[in-house]
Structure 1
């Protein structure tokens, strides 16, 4: 106890304050180390929470980061029995103790959560974890606005006001580190975007002579074969040279139009796909252009493009199309890219003798969703990779692959108001199931 007459602290109080200062110093040192050792936001968040639990001797904890577009707090990192169920989930930034602390910017020490009306018991109910006491602190720099909230729960000894101050110091340091990591990430993305833009420009320049050459060669060949036909028609019956000319030119004459058209189409698709990826990386992707058509036609065009690749690999690439599949509104170019990526990803994952099938199925009820499936008899996708598909952390299992193909596919489907779901069994194969509405969503208004 403090001596009232002298104002001096008792030895026990001095020891407590000394331990408090030591914990503050330890928190500052370790979070400073983490700032320079963990350049990514995810790693920084993880390290921050681990340090908090260890320094404050707490049983479990959560770091929520604020997602401005949705006005939600995201369970960005969780330590404790409920971690696997909560990571990645969201809650409105206006709800719960975390929401209160985020909105007010004022830290809270709650010795008994049952006494708080804003405590949300649903989280505990969904995980089986029992929260008894907690500290909740805004993750923000001194004088700044919160970028998230940190909660630590159920200490081995009761939390004190000193502990709350320690957590405030730690969160202030963490906010600096997280914002620094976010800045580095944004800079890296900007550099990647610029580089992809340069590559897209280079590819555009490379495609120009191909397209120009095809457009120049096609009318020349048309004219040449017209002249050959006219000349051969004048051949006298007793001469054989006309038949010999026909035999010599028959192969080219029957194929050149298709080959040149296909080459021109492929060059345009390379240009378009590169521009799409460059726009996606830079975040400047233009909205889709919805036009009426039939997705069966897109499937046929994708299969036509990749059937030779499949044959060279000893695979069967087939379609199973619903003849009653209705017309809908969609962006042909983007849906071609979507299905092309899925089929092209399936081919190297399928061993020789296997097959890849693209099927369509119309709605079972009027106005119901349309379904497109890309199924393979390949190696299947391990669970850890399957979980990351359609996310920025997607991993490619192909040699030299980037993992961008599935991200492109997912984005296209979302643009059409649909959903894409992977189903896979290791050793047996995978199926990507796309469902889209017969009418696409209305475009978002600017702002």
Structure 2
């Protein structure tokens, strides 16, 4: 027994030296601020190497002891295979940093690896939205992915919120037993969360940017799983930060380019405005000459009436064209000034005022009537005379509706029509409605699904896809909503709903 005790002490000393923990204690759960690259043994590993059990089993009959040893070997083999999968996952995610060019592909690869190595059902990365102080499901892999993408919840809510605020990782064996568990997500998606691991996602300087979660493992999550998830999460955080820095660099470069372009546009508009102003007096002289000819013609001349009719038509059309050209040039000048101000950090806040929405719609129709008619398209107004005055930023809403109508015209075939329609609210708490409807070819599903997002694309030659993003931004700032319905070869309808009163007033 003395020799056995000596062997036991030697084995225990070796184990304690290998794992750097006091005898009889499990490896501690690491704080999120510590490095997560030093491997630790899982609870399963510690159980498998429990020397007290081995010594007790050594006193059992041979066949029982042999069965126990075989069981131990199997447990050790399973633990080793699990650890190998964890190491392989870390190697693969390190390789992915050099393979994937997009942040989305890298994060999805990270989540897929986490689910695979931990034999889990689903995983997600939630990023913090500082404007609304929410955690948003930006990347979801597994069950309920389609429903959860884009879903937001308060940053102080649930286990995810606690981990985000505290920076301490969490291992939950039974989610329903936790009081802080946010059941709203499961109720929304119909998914049942049982076990869950949550770790914070941080920038290199330690600032939190979100959390990563892995749900419902086929086995019990252990400390080794948590360790690997921290490593994978660190890789994802590094990729996100690198993408953010690259984006900021691109933005800085774009700001310089946009500043130069807006300056050039402003300068190029000057001769256009000057030319339009010069045309005014010249046309006045021409009309005076036509009037003189008309007066000098004998009343019996058959073409005297035609001269009068032609003069009236020319006077009306050219005055309208000149006015529209000057108005458009002034608006472009104002927009270039906004760009210059924004580059200098002097962006003007929205100007909320009580105004007539019908007047704004009529102004857009006047500006684009000639564009529509030149393409053989009828621009038609259906304005509700009972429409009450509403609070909105005239300039912003004009730009949004202008974009929708300007997009509808080239999508409508000759002989078709574009309708601008307003509707009064049906009740006191209802919203005013503005619709832009066309009889065009419709919007393909792959284009429609990306409207109003950063991935919006244009079907027009030379189009940028920015128009609908601008519209979505304006509607959002007005606390309104925008929807689109479309049918192939029949046309599309964009519907904007706006509150009568702006909430901030």
TM range (shorter): 0.7 to 0.9
Q: Aligned pair in 2 of structure 1 residues 31, 279: CA closer, same or farther (>3 Å)?
A: farther
Pick closer, same or farther for the CA change 1:402–1:426 going to 2, 3 Å: same
Using a 3 Å threshold, how does the CA distance of structure 1 residues 354 and 139 change in structure 2: closer, same or farther? same
Q: Distance in 1 between matches of 2:204 and 2:324?
A: 61
Q: 1:329 to 1:97 in 2, by over 3 A?
A: closer
Q: How does 1:206-225 map to 2 (within 5 A)?
A: 206-222=268-284, 224=285
Question: C-alpha deviations, 1:3-61, integer Å up to 9, x for none?
Answer: 55422455958767765664454333333333333344433322221121123222211
Name the CA shift for 1:421/1:175 in 2 (closer, same or farther; >3 Å): same
Distance 1:350 1:238, change over 3 A: closer
Does the 8 Å CA contact 1:193/1:282 hold for their aligned counterparts?
no
Q: 1:217 to 1:313 in 2, by over 3 A?
A: closer
Alignment partner, residue 56 of structure 2: none
Residue-by-residue CA offset, 1:327-355 (whole Å, 9 max, x unaligned): 34443333222111111111222233322
Structure 1 residues without counterparts, runs of 5 or longer:
none
Q: Which of the numbers 367, 370, 374 marks the counterpart of 1:305?
A: 367
Using the alignment, how far apart are the partners of 2:448 and 2:251 within structure 1? 24
Among 74, 84, 97, which residue is 2:159 paired with?
Answer: 97
Conserved? CA contact 1:20–1:162, under 8 Å: no
Q: Does 1:72 align with 2:134?
A: yes
**Cα pair 1:58 1:153 within 8 Å, conserved:** yes
Which residue is 1:140 aligned to?
A: 202
Bigger mean CA offset, 386-395 vs 82-91: 386-395
1:113-124 matched pairs, under 5 angstroms = 113-124=175-186
How far the C-alpha of 1:87 sits from its partner, in A, is: 1.0
**What is the distance in 2 between the residues matched to 1:254 and 1:143?**
67
Matched, 1:386 2:391: no
CA distance in structure 2 between the aligned counterparts of 1:102 and 1:77, rounded to whole angstroms: 16
Aligned partner of 1:287 in structure 2 is: 349
Q: Give distance in 1, aligned partners of 2:213 and 2:297.
A: 96
Bigger drift between 39-48 and 333-342 goes to 39-48
| Secondary structure in 2 matching 1:394 | coil
Partner of 1:150: 212
Residue number in structure 1 paired with 2:58: none
Q: CA deviation at 1:397?
A: 2.2
TM-score of the superposed pair, with normalisation by structure 2: 0.77
1:316 to 364, 378, 384: 378
What CA deviation, in whole Å up to 9, does each residue of 1:209-241 have, x standing for no partner?
A: 11122224424543x35864796699597999x
1:37 to 74, 99, 122: 99
- CA distance in 2 between partners of 1:417 and 1:228 (Å): 55
1:424 matched to 2:429: no
Q: How far apart, in 2, do the equivalents of 1:236 and 1:351 lie?
A: 45
Count of matched residue pairs = 440
Alignment partners' CA distance in 1, 2:430 and 2:267: 44
The alpha-carbon deviation at position 320 of structure 1 amounts to 0.9
CA contact (8 A) 2:432 2:498 kept: yes
CA distance in 2, matches of 1:393, 1:173: 25
Residue pair 2:412, 2:440 contacting (<8 A) in 1 also: yes
Aligned 1:46-85 pairs, distance under 5 A: 46-85=108-147
Structure 1 residue 98, shift from structure 2 partner? 1.2
Q: CA deviation at 1:287?
A: 2.0
Partner of 2:148: 86
d(CA) in 2 for partners of 1:353 and 1:233? Answer: 37
Q: After superposition, what is the alpha-carbon deviation per residue over 1:237-272, rounded to whole angstroms, capped at 9, x for unaligned?
A: 7999x9699679826444433222121112223334
Q: CA RMSD in A?
A: 3.4
Contact 1:377 1:428 in 2 (8 A): yes
- Secondary structure (helix, strand or coil) at the match of 1:196 reads helix
Deviations 1:136-175 (A, max 9, x none): 1112256613221111122233322111111111111211
Give, in whole Å, the separation in 2 of the partners of 1:373 and 1:341: 13
Structure number, greater radius of gyration: 2
Q: Output one character per residue of 1:381-433: Cα deviation in whole Å (capped at 9) or x when no partner.
A: 23443332222222222222111111222222333343222222334322111
2:421, 2:435 within 8 Å by CA — same for their partners in 1?
Answer: yes
Structure 2, gaps ≥5 residues long? 1-6, 16-48, 50-71
Change (3 A) 1:210 1:246: same
Query: Could you say if the C-alpha distance between residues 170 and 279 of structure 1 is closer, same or farther in structure 2, counting changes exceeding 3 Å?
Result: farther
Residues 4 and 396 (structure 1), Cα distance of their counterparts in 2 relative to 1, 3 Å cut: farther
Structure 2 equivalent of residue 353 of structure 1: 415
Match of 1:6 in 2: 11
> 2:375 & 2:287 partners in 1: Cα distance?
38
Q: Distance in 1 between matches of 2:394 and 2:371?
A: 22
**Matches of 2:232 and 2:335, distance apart in 1:** 45
SS for the counterpart of 2:435 is: strand
Equivalent-residue separation in structure 2 for 1:172 and 1:137 (angstroms): 10
Paired with 1:85 and 1:281, the residues of 2 have a C-alpha distance of 38
Q: Deviations over 1:64-112 (max 9, x none)?
A: 1111222111111112221111111011121211112112211122223
